[in-house]
Structure 1
């Protein structure tokens, strides 16, 4: 060995040491996940502290969509805030309405007619299917499966037509009212018109289920939907790549679920059979027969299986409601002039009825002083409305209990130690919609 090589050895060791330190610095870094990322499901900003591909810490930042819904509801007559509820979790629209109008009914001591309660039960389950179809499509898309998204939206369009048939709106229905629902179910369904894609025999096949009433249309849907769910399961349930991305990922133990206040599928996926429709029945859930699916491992795959099973159970409930509603016509609004608008025929001949109409829709009605909490088993978990009235025509205080907010707060505890790609799977399985998280 020459003298020159001996002298250069310490310098090369120092260079190698510097390179190792720099590599270590590169491995440990902080990154933003969202809010622009499509898998952030809205406007989630997730700050991740990474060790290479491994998550060391996850810090969710919310507030980028803050709308002030609770304060807006406190500034308007009671009925004028029903539409705000649709815009919270905007894929669980009527379930949100149900909790809000239920709180008003609690304070006023109003019980809607049986037909209205069956309609609410039916549309809550239609909403559950709508939500889970959006979830299964978007979550599969997040993890690299394209076809499921297209399949799910095929059925989703059918149910959105049912929303439109009763309310005139495909998303923000504002169909529930304190005392019942806005109007009875229609006797006709909108039909597809001829187009380059639908004409002749194809047009007839598309309109075949639309020849009768909304209830006939839904009866046909409940008969075909289980086969559609089988198609989703054929694509995903035993798919090797799907299972690699979801099995043993994001395990939530029952203890962890309790600690973070989880509800809905996040709790039932961990093996806890808690469902407000069974434990604290509302509307007509005590009158219909259905099962509560639960998981065993509490991982992303279990939560997928639970949601698929819930779609089948929701379909079962809808079929029972359709059967009852076909056999039992009747009023869909309580006979209480404080909250019920007069009929148009009355307004033509009765000036007092006309004045009542204008006062009801401009000033609203006063609600007895008191406080109440009304919760429903929304598709994402327990959605609750805490309402305080001071006897005025608008609520003194409205506080919304959104399931997604509680679930998101557990992000760090669940994803720590997982890889970056698993964070995408976990956000998807939370089924977040930031309209309700930020409110």
Structure 2
């Protein structure tokens, strides 16, 4: 840019403020006449709580009534999808797990299913690996819904439920740590299977959790469902009927709370979900109360799925047999939390030159994926989580793009908020359960 052009630009923009979307904030404010129209423009967020982290809302108010609402996203942008193009296919699991950080195992599973479809090895995934994926995803669904319940309760003034929800979530994160070595961002589900087997200690913890959790759900309902303030803040609030959901592409519990039993685990099964017994909860009202009821019911259904998965865990490998694809690390949890098994290290370093070469190539280059493109969708705690993966035949993705439900569902916020009270914006936004790490990936 030349000096003269720069000066001209400074002259034209002096004293003006622009939003991250390119809209001129001065023009937004100037379009209202607070004296004659009695309307004001309020900048809500980005902050915690109330706007779920780094979501920004621009609200035009008439008194306490919302006349216009705009969502502004992008503050948490990480460039994860672009970063995938500079790492090999297996390393991608380490990136995608960080997008929707409340549902990392869903990010990993969707990505792995897409890579496996490109490789054409869907039928080679072992029964134990598939069962473990279902087990981990359903535990993750419960933990995600518990965070929703805890944070939504806090935002609506029910502080006690915040403590209850996070208490049980901690138990699930302890289970994840026992299995993967980490509480979040696991990179556990990988193309070809899972990183390591489920230890017996984790099985015992899960069975204890299955005995404990139904009583805890009863506590949540005793605390909230009959509470007059909770019902006033949720019933008939932020209504979005099934027509609006379908028009806006809304999926997950928000769609099911409007009466449509659309769940990819039933309608487009994957990971053998068609062989499990579970129901798809719905609610007819399409309001915040309905979303609360659906998510509690989904926790109960996930508990049933976890129990069935445990009963199906038969001994066997957890990674495909093809050593050109199978990640060679053979991780085992040790005193340092996680590391290579001593037997594997001894083999590649002292017994087999071929194993050492293979290990080195997989770690540095990864495997090649035939050219092509696929789309795989799974049912995450927030709705349809889809992966569009493109390969040019190399060892790294040409393009990976996620259809992220938090991003899509946020389109519904203006439809839910406009015409309602400013206090109900908080309830409606929370009921969408957006996670901005996924939205702004």
TM-score between both structures, scaled by the size of structure 2: 0.87
Partner of 1:66: 77
Q: CA–CA distance in 2 between the matches of 1:37 and 1:108? A: 42
1:28 has 2:16 as partner: no
Shift, 1:27, TM fit? 3.2
Q: 1:22 to 1:258 in 2, by over 3 A?
A: closer
Q: CA–CA distance in 1 between the matches of 2:145 and 2:196? A: 26
2:146·2:166 contact (CA, 8 Å) conserved in 1?
yes
Specify which of 309, 312, 322 is matched with residue 324 of structure 1.
Answer: 312
1:159 has 2:172 as partner: yes
Specify which of 374, 377, 381 is matched with residue 375 of structure 1.
Answer: 377
Q: CA RMSD in A?
A: 1.4
Shift, 1:84, TM fit? 1.5
Structure exhibiting the larger radius of gyration computed from Cα positions:
1
2:240·2:415 contact (CA, 8 Å) conserved in 1?
no
Q: CA–CA distance in 2 between the matches of 1:46 and 1:97? A: 30
Partner of 1:171: 184
1:309 has 2:271 as partner: no
Q: CA–CA distance in 1 between the matches of 2:326 and 2:316? A: 16
Partner of 2:5: none
Partner of 2:131: 118
Q: CA–CA distance in 2 between the matches of 1:84 and 1:310? A: 28
Deviations 1:76-133 (A, max 9, x none): 1111121221211100010111000110000001131000000000100000001000
Unaligned runs of 5+ in 2: 1-31, 331-343
Partner of 2:224: 236
Shift, 1:22, TM fit? 9.0
1:341·1:356 contact (CA, 8 Å) conserved in 2?
no
1:139·1:429 contact (CA, 8 Å) conserved in 2?
yes
1:336 has 2:322 as partner: yes
Partner of 1:366: 368
Partner of 2:402: 400
Partner of 2:10: none
Q: Which moved more, 1:139-148 or 1:410-419?
A: 410-419
Q: CA–CA distance in 1 between the matches of 2:156 and 2:48? A: 14
Partner of 2:431: 429
1:30·1:50 contact (CA, 8 Å) conserved in 2?
yes
1:291·1:313 contact (CA, 8 Å) conserved in 2?
yes
Partner of 1:145: 158
Shift, 1:75, TM fit? 1.6
Q: CA–CA distance in 2 between the matches of 1:220 and 1:166? A: 15
TM-score between both structures, scaled by the size of structure 1: 0.87
Shift, 1:25, TM fit? 4.6
SS in 2 for 1:78: coil
* Matched length: 392
Partner of 1:417: 419
Q: 1:218 to 1:369 in 2, by over 3 A?
A: same
Partner of 1:200: none
Shift, 1:426, TM fit? 0.7
1:274 has 2:262 as partner: yes
SS in 2 for 1:126: helix
Equivalent positions of 1:188-227 (< 5 A) are: 213-227=201-215
Q: CA–CA distance in 2 between the matches of 1:176 and 1:351? A: 28
1:271·1:298 contact (CA, 8 Å) conserved in 2?
yes
SS in 2 for 1:74: helix
1:99 has 2:85 as partner: no
Q: 1:124 to 1:40 in 2, by over 3 A?
A: same
Q: 1:37 to 1:27 in 2, by over 3 A?
A: farther
Q: 1:163 to 1:24 in 2, by over 3 A?
A: same
Specify which of 327, 332, 356 is matched with residue 354 of structure 1.
Answer: 356
2:34·2:40 contact (CA, 8 Å) conserved in 1?
no
Shift, 1:37, TM fit? 4.3
1:369·1:389 contact (CA, 8 Å) conserved in 2?
yes
Unaligned runs of 5+ in 1: 1-20, 188-212
Deviations 1:345-393 (A, max 9, x none): 6423110111110110111111000000111100010111100101000
Q: CA–CA distance in 1 between the matches of 2:108 and 2:34? A: 54
2:253·2:294 contact (CA, 8 Å) conserved in 1?
yes
